[in-house]
Structure 1
Amino acid sequence: MYKVKVNETYEFDLSAVNDTLQLNGQAVPVDVRELQDGHLHFIYKNKSYNAEVVSENHENKTSVVKINGKLYEVAIEDQFDSLLKAMGMGAGSGKTAREVKAPMPGLVLNINVAEGQEIQKGDNLLVLEAMKMENMLKSVTEGVIKKINISKGDKVEKNQVLIEFV
């Protein structure tokens, strides 16, 4: 499932299930053919469209797409982006992340950092057990731990602030 935003105006959910395009939960008949070098041709509602990816920004997951000569800015968010956003670590947060939130309800099994500790991007912060699975939460930023709001053995709720950065 992808969340798609076009020109900062139109938002919809998009997924492909068994080679069928789903738009906001409804099956949408679309015939798509990849041509070459980022060019596509598709038929939607008996109309023909030519599409070309003009530019891509992989860091913030946006693209500029030209469809029948008109430019559109498209932002795409997958389930992992949604999870990171729920944890307060969404795309573009990079060095400005201020907190880590629980992505789901769970039990804190281990805390691998301490208040005042300097951390780097990718460092292991804590282990959260949810649905009988251990999930290692890692830092998406570098910085210093300001406050740890939980202890080993605590039960946490989704979106609860676990760790704050300076």
Structure 2
Amino acid sequence: MNKPFKINVNELYDFNFNENEINSLDIVEKSNKSYHVIENNQTFEAALLKSDFNKKKYSIQINGNVYEIKVSDELDILINELGMEASLEKKENDVKAPMPGLIVSIDVVVGQEVKENEGILVLEAMKMENTLLAPRDGIIKSIDIKVGDKVEKNTVLIEMEA
């Protein structure tokens, strides 16, 4: 299926893509989080600087320029078109794995107070380390995993107090 995506760059520009267009890019991983990209006979050097899979926000560097991007998938696009807002985000008590991976580090302990967007653990997926962030201000209620655990998508990793 040819799924649509929308990419917002620096909260200024929107670009619409589909799955086929993304798959047609010639991307070669040079090193961890660093890539060589060829599109329409043009080459680009790209690096992933920061990632927040929960909010689908990324900081990337292309040919020396840094861009803040937000990726919207088919569901996000539909919600936006219907004029709805995904407001449940701040009430989320569970931090779940956004994809299958390996727990590399856990940077919090039970009872610790955390702030929204504070790094709480690192998940390695597809040869990339991804820092998962606290979805809101709160206190860590339970940690359901340990370093070295392999987890599946949507596995509850950390629970925050309500």
TM-score by length of 2: 0.49
When Rg is computed on C-alpha atoms for both structures, the one with the higher figure is 1
Higher helix content, 1 or 2: 2
Higher relative contact order (CA 8 A, sep 6+): 2
